[in-house]
Structure 1
Amino acid sequence: MCLASFLKFLKFKLRRKRIVDKVASIKDDNHLEGNDSIKSAARRYTWNQMQKYTMNFSSVIGYGGFSTVYLAQYPDSTTGAVKIHSQSDRLNQAFKQELEILLHLEHDNIVKLLGYCDDQDEGFLILEYAPNGNLQEKLHCVGKSTGRKTTVLPWKRRMAIAFQLALAIEYLHEKCALQIVHGDIKSSNILLDEQLNCKLCDFGSAKMGFSSTVLPQSSHGKNRMMLGSPGYTDPHYFRTGLASKKNDVYSYGVVVLELITGMEAFSAHSGERLTRKLDPMLRDAEKVVEIVDPHLRGEFVLEEAKVMTSLSAMCLSDSPSLRPSASDILRTMRNGIPSFSFLFRGKA
């Protein structure tokens, strides 16, 4: 029996190594040409081609921390978003990492990689275009002059986005070949398509190929590069530098709070985090009605708000071991919010 268990473990380790080696080798042109699934999912473009399709990079549709996103129009009239990283050794590595990861992902709620170019120092990714911008804009730019038409996001759609985001995280953590920690889940990294469906994006900070926790190579000192964004970063990660799936769960809890309250995760003006501001109210079911986004004008389901607030509180637990997994989150939503069970069809 012991021998059988050992052989099973050895087989698992060898399979794991083959997967990791496969991902590590995607920069090899011959490998890309020989893999039909990758070749069909993402095409390699030249810099000159993208200059043509973007009209010489004339239409900026977004900015990341270290990247600019341009609108591209293809000869067949389809539209794409071209993400160009800034020049630096570290950011070039982030580009390569994001490319490696996106080439191996396929999920309805994760942004699709349509193509890429790696023949310039900057490098670029061609992603599916999300015409409704991102969740941060939808939640926090209502009534503001932003150049993009914004309306109040209905309660049912907020719940759908919360569910779809949990599906994307479950896929990354548990269902793709390489278990992936996104590392920077936030409302501005949740794109919205024509039907306002969630499309999780920006994998430049992701960690892949492990299942529990990883200590960074430089685990102490000022030179340690931290993941995440203000208001969303797991305090436990801040303290220890340990990257784990539960970092993403914490960030998910913050996004859920944004969906419920319409408040920003971090106030640049006051420096206050939403989690700190609402902490006294998260575990008091009677106070939930007080924190729901007033822009909804009462058009929400109180019991659903209570379930989601309680779920957010669990995700934000100080101890990572007490936080739910992505599968636990989905189970809670399925069991606690039957009124939008239509979202769950085919999403087992």
Structure 2
Amino acid sequence: MGIVKFLRSKLLNRRRAAVHVEGGESCSGRCGDAAEAAAVKRLEWGEIERITGRFSVVVGEGGFSTVYMGRLPVCGGGSASAAAVKVHCGGGERLSLAFKQELDLLLRLKHENIVRILGYCDDADQGALIFEYVSGGTLYDRLHGRGGNKRSTLSWKSRVKIAFQLAQAIEYLHERCIVHIIHGDIKSSNVLLDGDSNCKLCDFGSAKMGFSSMIPPPSSLPSSSPYVRRKNIIMGSPGYTDPAYLRTGIALKKNDIYSFGVLVLELVTGLEAFRADKGLVLASMAAHMAKDVDRMDVSEVTNMVDPRLRGDFNMEEARALIGLVRLCFDESTLVRPTASCMVKMMKEKVSSISFMNSNLRHKLSNDL
């Protein structure tokens, strides 16, 4: 009983160490230093309508939200900066669970490969989150030419960089946050790219805090139960969702590792994770991969790599990434690597990553 009181006291103290935001209100969480936290603005609904031009330009849509282009005024009277405004559909008694959860999480996060929150609105039943605008669209669009994205094929070096940056973002969520976070819906459409193909992980509406979380199986609950609706929200996406999660209903960090494996395979092959029209699931390719990837001959590896690259890729890097995918897909969640192990393996086995890191260190030293 004393332990329970102690834990409750710690949680209460964390919540009291709230982040002060514009408008005189506070939100629980941690968001870098105080100056950055203060920059997260609380806006009225009328201001959301104004900065989006009354929701005139849609830049993205999901099952529970729509994202609009916005122009956010800059302090000091400078020209407005571009922003992405995510408006949640519906709200329950006050705000939807997904909105409150995502807002609380985002106020805690600070990582260069996680999309940055600039402001929010929680008026009555209306919910909106304002993010930095990332100009390159989603990784899904870039890989598969959707959403009018007809730019040149994403290069091998860019694909390797995206995989490594995403692994670092997952490591941050799983192991470096004070409260560990399971993203719950890692997929290429939730990865944004800037003009230099640096990635930003977004959409934390399905995320969970803590090491694991039980979601009751739908068969054990009436269809009207709120738990069924909640399970639908955090279920994940076809082609990316861990079969272990589907079997148990327990959300684990290793579910994110599985989804990351699917995304890396998507980067290597250029194929979609799921094709409903053809009934194809990309992860099923794992069954045909050689268990000992080091013994895969050149033709086997080449046949797996996106043909649009026209052979312009590093054979040993491709072999290393395919080997990592196999580990992420292991039926036993205990055998799958942790996020920090993935980062370490990629640093050791993917040569261009060490080159990218040295370039980054050089750039930072020059900036200083």
Fold shared per TM-score above 0.5: yes
For structure 2, the residue ranges without an aligned partner over 5 or more in a row are 74-78, 362-368
CA contact (8 A) 2:92 2:125 kept: no
Distance change >3 Å, CA 12–CA 282, structure 1 → 2: farther
Q: Which residue of structure 1 aligns with residue 309 of structure 2?
A: 296
Q: Which residue of structure 2 aligns with residue 93 of structure 1?
A: 97
* TM-fit CA distance, 1:282: 5.2
TM-score when normalising by structure 2 = 0.83
Matches for 1:111-130 after TM superposition, within 5 Å:
111-130=115-134
* TM-fit CA distance, 1:288: 1.7
Q: State the secondary structure of the residue aligned to 1:195.
A: coil
Residue-by-residue CA offset, 1:214-245 (whole Å, 9 max, x unaligned):
21256753654152100000000000001110
Q: Which residue of structure 2 aligns with residue 71 of structure 1?
A: 69
1:31 aligned onto 2:26: yes
Distance change >3 Å, CA 33–CA 100, structure 1 → 2: closer
For structure 1, the residue ranges without an aligned partner over 5 or more in a row are 1-6
Letter in 2 for 1:252: F
Distance change >3 Å, CA 37–CA 241, structure 1 → 2: farther
CA contact (8 A) 2:111 2:169 kept: yes
Q: Which of residues 96, 106, 113 in structure 1 aligns to 2:110?
A: 106
Deviating more after overlay: 334-343 vs 27-36? 27-36
- Distance in 2 of aligned mates of 1:199 and 1:114: 15
Q: State the secondary structure of the residue aligned to 1:183.
A: coil
> Cα RMSD over matched residues?
3.0
Distance change >3 Å, CA 271–CA 29, structure 1 → 2: farther
* TM-fit CA distance, 1:12: 9.0
**Identity percentage over the alignment?**
46
Q: Which residue of structure 2 aligns with residue 3 of structure 1?
A: none
* TM-fit CA distance, 1:88: 4.1
* TM-fit CA distance, 1:31: 3.2
- Distance in 1 of aligned mates of 2:44 and 2:202: 23
Q: State the secondary structure of the residue aligned to 1:246.
A: helix
* TM-fit CA distance, 1:34: 12
* TM-fit CA distance, 1:150: 2.3
CA contact (8 A) 1:282 1:310 kept: no
Q: State the secondary structure of the residue aligned to 1:243.
A: strand
1:264 aligned onto 2:272: yes
1:84 aligned onto 2:78: no
Q: Which of residues 240, 250, 259 in structure 1 aligns to 2:248?
A: 240
Matches for 1:192-207 after TM superposition, within 5 Å:
192-207=193-208
Matches for 1:120-159 after TM superposition, within 5 Å:
120-141=124-145, 146-159=147-160
- Distance in 1 of aligned mates of 2:13 and 2:338: 24
Deviating more after overlay: 219-228 vs 107-116? 219-228
Letter in 2 for 1:264: E
